[in-house]
Amino acid sequence: MKHLFGAVEEAAAAIRTAINSVTPRVGIILGSGLGDLAHEIHQPIALPYADLPHFPRSTAAGHAGRLMVGKLGDTGQSVVALQGRFHLYEGWNAQQAAFPVWVLNQLGVNTLLVSNAAGGLNPRYQVGDVMLIDDHINFMFQNPLRGVNDDRLGPRFPDMSAPYDQPLMELAEAVARREGFFCPRGVYVGMLGPTYETRAEYRMARRLGGDAAGMSTVPEVVAAAHCGMRVLGLSTITNACSPDQLGETTHEEVIAAAASAGKKLQAIVEAVVLASS
């Protein structure tokens, strides 16, 4: 992590200059197929990642690759959204994938909403369901905190016993009850990718306690825990991963299925923004 703080500060300074006096307290990472939520940000200031110092480039389909600051929906509250993220399967390391989280924290963000598209391991889940991430398993076997720690960003050994915020999950559950949709808690299994899992890998992940599997999120949540942010994780179930009835999965189908859960996600996100601002 040597020289990381300087890079984070430089990126944050460039963003501050572009957004003037706006100080968003809530950050949102929009995953595969979920970028349309950015349309609910009014009068946005949009900054392409290519224009921000030290930001990687987003190459995954469905990821616009820009940072947006504006007021979310009817909340009237300022948020900063990452329309696209960085995956290890694209060739980035875990620290590069997590880099924007440290930048958001330097901007004043103390609550992070992380969304992703995930395959449903739990047989109760159906395509279009939204799962609250209650915990995760890191099968990427990479950690963004590897290397020399910089105490200005966070402690050497951050606690990971509860990286996902309990009150925020309770708020999301209350929204789901009010709106009448299924929103279970579950364990997210972070896989390296880019291949979708084999039948044997799905069986392994399920037996180890996994409820949904995807190729992102874990490095970002580790970085958020490192700098003391509250985190709400949301997985949209985009395909059923039954090992005994496994069909072919395409990325286009995943994006389409993720987009179908947009209204559910928006309701949760707006409630969290109102409660956190």
Catalytic residue numbers read 32, 63, 87, 89-90, 117, 215-216, 239, 251
Q: Which two tokens stand for residue 62?
A: 């469905």
Instruction: Output Rg (C-alpha) for the chain, integer angstroms.
Output: 17
Torsion (CA) 42, 62, 12, 71 in degrees, nearest 10:
10
Residue 161 counted as an annotated binding residue: no
Residue 5 counted as an annotated binding residue: no
Q: How far apart are the first and last CA of the chain?
A: 31
CA nearest neighbour of 138 among 22, 216, 244, 199: 216
CA nearest neighbour of 64 among 15, 95, 31: 31
Residue in this structure with the two tokens 């224009």, named with its chain if needed: 51
Residue 32 counted as an annotated binding residue: yes
Max CA distance (Å), the chain: 55
Q: Which two tokens stand for residue 160?
A: 């990971």
Helix (H) or strand (E) holding 267: helix 262-276
Q: Counting beta carbons within 10 angstroms of the beta carbon of residue 242, is it exposed (0 to 12), middle (13 to 18) or buried (19 or more)?
A: middle
Contact 84, 57 (CB under 8 A): no
Residues in binding site for a purine D-ribonucleoside: 197, 239
Residues in binding site: 32, 63, 85-87, 117, 197, 216, 239
Residues in binding site for phosphate: 32, 63, 85-87, 117, 216
